[in-house]
Every structure is written in C-alpha cells, then in structure tokens.
Amino acid sequence: MKVILLLVAVVALCLGEEIQRFDNFKVYQVVPTTHAHLEALRQLERNVNYNFWSEPALNTYVDIMVSPHLKYDFENLLHSLNLPGKVLIEDVQDLINNEQNRTVTRQMFNGYQTLDEIYDWLRSLESTYPNNVKVVVGGQTYEGRQILGVHVSFKEGNKAVFLEGGIHAREWIAPATVTYILHQLLTSSDPAVRAVAESRDWYVFPSVNPDGYVYSHTTNRLWRKTRKLYNMGSIKCYGADPNRNWGYHWMEGGASDIPCLDTFGGDAPFSEIETKSLSEYINTVAPQLDVYLGFHSFSQLLLVPFGHEGLEVPENNNELFTIGKQAIDKLAERHGTIYQVGNIPEIIYIASGGSTDWVAGTHRHIRLVYTFELRDTGRYGFVLPSNQIIPTGEETLDAVVSMIQQIDGTA
C-alpha cells in the first residue's frame, strides 16, 4: 500500500507530456559511512519524489536531485541521520537553459545532436565512405523507431569492436562521445588512430535507446528509461531501465520492481523490445568481436563486469584491470582527467541486468568488455556543457586506442 500511495502521488509526473522544468531543483551530494545511512538512503530511493543521480553505496558519493518543496524535509533527514551533505547544483534548470542556449547554433561536436541529426549524419557517412561504411539496423523500439548504427570495415578478416552509447537517455555525452570516436576513426591522420581503426571492424551505435533519447530532448531532459507503457490498474508508468533489463543474472541486485522508479528492471528479462532486438543483433556479430565498450555518464570510471550480487568476476579479470589502468593513464595524459578502474559492485554499486554483463557472461570469448562512465564527477552531472564534448571525445579515444594497442602488442 505504501508503494501504491507513492506512485499515486507522482502519476502526473509519469504521464505528463508538457515540457518538464526543474526550476530550483537542487542536487545534493552525500557520502553514507554507516549502514544506517545506507539503509535510510535506500528507503528514500524508493520514493519516486526524489531522483537519485547515483545509487547508494557505502563510502561512495551519492548525488540526489531534490525538488524545492522537499528541500527542508531532505535537509532535516540528513540532520537526523548526522549525515553531512553539500549542494553540488543550485538550480538544475539553469544548467539545462545554458545547455539549450549553446545548442541553438550547434555544429556536430559543438552541441548535442537530436536523434534525427545523428541518424542523418550516419547516413551521410555511408554516402561519403561507400567502400567502408554501411548503415545497419541493430533493433527496434517500442514507439516504432529503428536502432541505427554503422558497420565500418577497412579489410576483410578483421576482428571487431562494438561501441554502444546512449542506453540511458539523459546521458547525452555518451552518444556525443561515440559519434566523436566514429568521426576520428574515419578522418584522423594520427598514425596510432589510423592503425587501430584499420585493424578492426567497428559496429557503432550512438543511441541504443532512441525513444528515451527523443523524449529527453522534447519533454524531460532527465528522462532515463525506455518509453514502454506499464499499466498498474489505474496507475500508468512509462519505461524500464534498459541497463537493468538484460538476461544475465536479471534482478539480482541494484534494480527495482517498481515501474515508476528509474531503476525498474522490467517485468521480465528482455521485456523491452530495445534490449531484446539489440541482443539478437549482437548475437549475429558476436563471433567477430574481441572488444565491447558501453558508454555512460557520469563519474569518470572504467567499469569491469560483473555488476550483480555475488561478486562474480571475468576469467581474465586481472588482464582487464591491467589494460584498464594503462588505458585510463593514457586518457589522463590528454586533459588531466582522472578515472578509476574497478569491478562494478566494488567501485560504484551493485547493478544487475546490464548490457555489458550480458555480453561478458553470454559471449565469454570477447576479450575486453568495459563500461565507461564519462565526465564529470558531479559538478554538472547529466547536464554536461557541450563545450566538453570534444575534450571528452579526445581523451576517451586515447583510452580506446590504448586498449586495442595493448591486446595487439603494439602499445
């Protein structure tokens, strides 16, 4: 009954199609240091009136967006818990407004692109590089869109890299970074980039949650999930978390069974057509793959599978750490951005049903499987200014090149 009452309280939020604003919404950062802190935050996370930008874990930064009318309740809760908190973002809408102003006159990597603009650009690459680039369909969406990507190939017989971006709709820097890397693979004259680009085939999908990405542009900048309708009697909620919906140790920690929550894992593994159809496409190219990289934001982390409860690690866990550490060292050389590398539950939080977990667990021959959590560490969070697209792309490309050089013995 308590859950139902919480859902009723936010039914308008779940259903509303007007542009959602976040005037005077604040983002607080706390670090739970006791189990009492952690349990209180986990209870709060089940209240859909609070928006957790990162999930609660001991001795880890937890960022929480709080509406103006809950500000005093939240601060009183922190006081009662003796849990210090600081305000990272004073007004979320200000960040969104600044982002939108920069986007009005955007060029490809100077502003965040809409889905149609990304897809038009992918099609233009096929026209510009007809011998090397082919537009491919990786799946379908609930609202009838295609999950478009490109297959880049310079010679037959190559192993392949899969780049997956935008599974969480609000993480706009992820599609932008993936498109930047793709652009460099095709145009860079840097010898190291050229060697890596031509040593592999590339399956590149900038936005694997198209419905959610469109919705984040048109209606709710902070939308995370898919857009499938979930009916709960008189209550309707939209979407499941597409990175909690894959069929490897599904719902074994870090996912919710409450449809209106951001981490709702769906009502079954692969309940979302996006994850089901994309997984089927991945199965067709998996024999060729030796690298699979997912791109998210934010936290500046390089995550090694697995995320579910039980602390399973890949057979080549030590190798993944070694290669990952060298890659993030290379990343830091470009702009001084500091990353950490680690297994998902140990460095961030338990999270089951993720795409990279499914890839690593289902296709165990794929040597390198990582998730990038891109810039930043909370100053802007999901609303990263567009002037950080190019530096984020540059440093991330450096890391990707380093990874492939290491497994090829050319580092």
Which helix (H) or strand (E) is 86 found in, with range?
strand 85-89
User: In this structure, what token pair is assigned to residue 213?
Assistant: 């990405």
User: In this structure, what token pair is assigned to residue 304?
Assistant: 């090694």
Cα–Cα distances (Å) from 355 to 74, 94, 275, 308, 362, in that order, read 33, 33, 8, 12, 10
Phi, psi of 333 (to 5 degrees): -65, -30
Q: Are 132 and 152 in contact (CB under 8 A)?
A: yes
Q: Are 11 and 4 in contact (CB under 8 A)?
A: no
Dist CA 337 CA 332 (whole Å): 5
Dist CA 105 CA 93 (whole Å): 20
Cα–Cα distances (Å) from 81 to 33, 34, 63, 278, in that order, read 11, 10, 17, 43
Annotated catalytic residue within 17, 373, 394, 395: 373
Dist CA 260 CA 10 (whole Å): 9
- Mark whether 373 is an active-site residue: yes
Give which of 263, 175, 169 is closest to 217, Cα–Cα: 169
Give which of 218, 230, 232 is closest to 272, Cα–Cα: 230
In a 3-state reduction of DSSP, which class is residue 99? Answer: helix
Dist CA 277 CA 364 (whole Å): 20
290 alpha-carbon distance from chain centroid = 21
What single DSSP character describes residue 256? B
- In the chain, DSSP finds a helix count (H) and a strand count (E) of 14, 14
Dist CA 218 CA 103 (whole Å): 13
The residues assigned a catalytic role are 373
